[in-house]
Structure formats: C-alpha cells, structure tokens
Structure 1
C-alpha cells in the first residue's frame, strides 16, 4: 500500500468513526452519548494512559469497519496511525460537546478553521496557533491542540477530522513534519485572509 492510499484509508476510518458517533447521538442514543463523554476524558492525553478508550476508538461496529491492518501495532508502543486516530477521535468528542451541528465538516482543513477562529475572535489566537506549530514534544502539542479545540467549539467552527488525522500521523514522522507545518500555516492564512481584504472592499464601495 502506498503512502497516499494508506493516508486515505486512515482518513476514511476516522471520518466514519466520528460521523457514526454523531449520528447515533443525534438519534438520541444514550450509549453514544456515554461514549462521547468517555472519549472527552482522553482529549489531549497519551493514548497509553487510557486503555479503556481503545475499544471505542478501534473496535468494529455496524457503521465502522475494522481499524486498518497496516496501522495496527505489534510492539509496546502505539503506531503513528493509532496515535493519530486516538487523538483525532478524542478531540472530536471534546469539539462536539453541547453542539447540535456536526463539528466534522469534510474538506474544511484544521489550519483554515484556526484562521477563521482568529478572524472571529482576536489576533492573539495566532500566537496560540504558532505555539502549536513550534511544539516539538507530544505533551506540548497535545496541550495546544486541546486548547484550540475548546476555542473552536465555543465559536462553533468545524473542520475535517479525517484530514486532521492524516495530517497528525505525518506530524509524528520527522521526515514529513515540516510539510504538515507548512500546510497548516498556509491553510491558516486562507482562513484569516478575509480580515485583511475588508479595508480595500470598504474603499472600493465608497
């Protein structure tokens, strides 16, 4: 399996997992509501510290296929795919809390969502995003991500969690990390750009 094929597989798995949880909760399932509450406790943490969540995240159900074989760990530490999936699904659960609309939106990238957050709130949000991009340890990265997701939830700004999981897996690879940081930086700019265009628009309207 090529890199591109494996990434799409991970993206599809995470997308189906989070949308399955959303649709079940939206239909009034108390089981799905309880699962999301459990998953929130794992947001921003090390996957190893929450073994009770692995069954929810990686287990098969009627709406979600088996976790792809190519990402399953065989040794004493999570694979990059397992790590990225755990973080994406638990952060989604935090993002979806108390929100009726889905916080997963296909095709809308995480960096663009962060740019939209800055546009709607304060330019100080850019510093938080920059801190995430500069983080070189997983605890720091998880800390900044959890903080940003909480703020995105407050403004009801959704993004593509399948794409996010794919990016996160590459972020864990030293050889691909810089490419992800560049991509998120560009996406942030595109989300934030409308603020810079307003003065010229106002001028043209006078």
Structure 2
C-alpha cells in the first residue's frame, strides 16, 4: 500500500470525548503548548501525528502543535465536543457574531487581525483570542480544517486563498441578512 493510500492517524481533537476520564489531563497537556514552540513540550509528543525522528520543526508539526494547543484551550470545561467537522473558522466566527449580545465590532476587529496576519506565529496569537471567545459561547470549530489552513498559511498564495475562504464564510450574506433573503424569495 502506498503512503497516499494509507490511513492517517486521527488527530487528538478528532478522538477526544469530553466525558473521557482522562480528558482533563489530556487538555492540560495540550494547553501547555500555548506560546511554546512545536516539539518543545514533552507532554505533547504522544499527541502529535507529524513529529519526525530527525527532530525537524516542519510546517506540518508547527500547524499541528498550534491546532492541538488551541483545541486544548477551546475544549477546556466544555461538556460537548468543540471539534466539529465542517465548521470552518469564518463560519464559527460568524456564528459568534450572530449570537445574542455579541460584541460585533470586537469580533470584526478580531477577524481583521486574523486575516491580516503575515505569518503563522502572528496568526496563532490572534486565533488564541478568538478561540477564547468561541469557548465562552460553546461554539465548535473544525480543527482538522484549521490544522490544514495553518499548515499552508506561510505560503503567500495559499494564505490568500485561505483568507478568501474565511472571509466568504464570515461574510455569508444569507446568514447575516435573513430578512433580505426572505424578501428576495417573496418577490420572485
């Protein structure tokens, strides 16, 4: 079987149940990675799927480290899974924006800082603030998609595509303007 045909090992965020008896310890291990370099936190080694024997800090390892650490922060004290396949970063931020009593200007500002980040380190710093807001509202996020986006963020062409994807999700006209959508259907 070729490497492309082999099943990849699932990421921790895809496996962890909030009711797992070890969840608290695992999440604490993952949060230890916040603000630290990929591969430098021995408690996290067991959770990596991209760690290599040569010790190189690859783009994949950096992205996985960031996603694991952010997931550890997001899942903390939550009774439902905060990883939800299909909920991209822009959609999660939009759901936060549309929530009752949301500080929409602050969320717009956070998304602007995220979108204008020029490297992964800056991006992860801004994502940490957004993830804290997502946790407060128990708003899930697709961490597998985030991992892939982080993996390619430092490439300017990929960054532009990822930025447009997030922007398209965040500015979803149909969700932001449901009355206008209903009016358009009634006038058709």
The answer to whether the superposition gives a TM-score over 0.5 is yes
**Alignment correspondent of 2:178:** 197
Q: 1:26 aligns with which of 19, 22, 37?
A: 19
Mapped pair 1:136 → 2:118: yes
Mapped pair 1:84 → 2:57: no
**Alignment correspondent of 1:101:** 80
**Alignment correspondent of 1:43:** 34
Q: Which has the higher contact order (CA 8 A, sep 6+)?
A: 1
Structure 1 residue 42: deviation in Å?
Answer: 1.6
Structure 1: segments with no counterpart, 5+ residues? 59-66
Write the mapping of 1:54-93 to structure 2, written as runs, cut at 5 A.
Answer: 54-55=45-46, 57-58=47-48, 67=49, 71-73=50-52, 77-93=56-72
Deviations 1:132-185 (A, max 9, x none): 110113332121100000000111110211111111112133341111111111
TM-score using structure 2 length: 0.81
Structure 1 residue 48: deviation in Å?
Answer: 4.5
The structure that is helix-richer by fraction is 1
Is the 8 Å Cα contact of residues 111 and 184 (structure 1) preserved in structure 2? yes
**Alignment correspondent of 2:170:** 188
Q: How many residues align?
A: 182
Supply the distance in 2 between the matched residues of 1:165 and 1:103 (Cα, whole angstroms).
14
TM-score using structure 1 length: 0.75
Structure 2: segments with no counterpart, 5+ residues? none
Is the 8 Å Cα contact of residues 60 and 151 (structure 2) preserved in structure 1? yes
- Secondary structure of the 1:46 match is coil
**Alignment correspondent of 2:95:** 116
Moved over 3 A (4+): 71-77, 198-205
